Amino acid sequence: MTAKIAHARLLCQSLTIGALILGALPAHAQQATSKSFVDDFDKIDRSIWYVSDGWNNGAHQNCTWSKNQVKAEGGMLQLTFAEGKSKDRNYLCGEIQTKKRFSYGTYEARIKTATGKGLNSAFFTYIGPADKQQHDEIDFEVLGKDTSTVQVNQYIKAKGGNEKLVPVGQGADQSFNDYAFVWEPARLRYYLNGKLVQDVTDPSKIPQNPQKIFFSLWGTDKLANWMGKFAYTQPTTMEIDRMAYTAPGDKCQFEGSIACTLN
């Protein structure tokens, strides 16, 4: 079972293990939030992104978030996992998250994941107790134990159990792939390389609360059954070529976007 935990020092932090549930949200909690955007990562736009630095998410995570493991180079966002001492951890890892929250719309990212058992290369949206909200989440996670698949999943008020493994092909760490989801009040669709791979139409299994967008690469010594037995050999990097969010009714943000066929 997986779930994301909010860390007290973060504006909103995540991982899969369990979550606290705060009181019920008012009916108007879901509303228009941030505007459409596309980021080609020629640089890290600090007006959009917050870089996690100096903490970890608990005993299950064997690395410390470090700003030094996050950079934009060659038109790519690069998140790296590497040896490096920080507090009580012997590894450093990278994560960014949006400063603003986003609600219904189309979310798309072009990614090549990291290589290594015990690692998780993730593209997801999340909100939770650190933001005084209930835990909602929508996930793409490539686990280093088997990079030929990507796990899609969602949490509603901290309840998960919606996992599905989708074949990627030659390996998510060998080439770039396009990951996308279209989030609507009564429908949630996941796409891989333009192909619909999961279609959720049960409203009870669809998050309703605006969330932040995350990219993260982290490792574990403790979640071997889920992520594989950790075995570090050398630094490894998750690369993100592009991220786009298209609000409902807006024009698509780049040629070939899933949103171009929806609006």
Catalytic residues: 137, 141
With tokens 């024009």, the residue in question is 251
Q: What is the 3-state secondary structure (H, E, C) of 32-63?
A: CCCCCEEECCCCCCCCCEEECCCCCCCCCCCE
Residue-wise DSSP of the chain: -------TTSSS---SS-----SPPPGGGS---SPPEEE--SS--TTTEEE--S--SSTT--EEE-GGGEEEETTEEEEEEEEEEETTEEEEEEEEEESS-B-SEEEEEEEE----TTEEEEEEEEE-GGGTS--EEEEEEEETT-TTEEEEEEEBTTB----EEEE-SS-TTTS-EEEEEEEETTEEEEEETTEEEEEE--GGGS--S-BEEEEEEEE-SS-HHHH------S-EEEEEEEEEEE-TTSPPSSTT-THHHH-
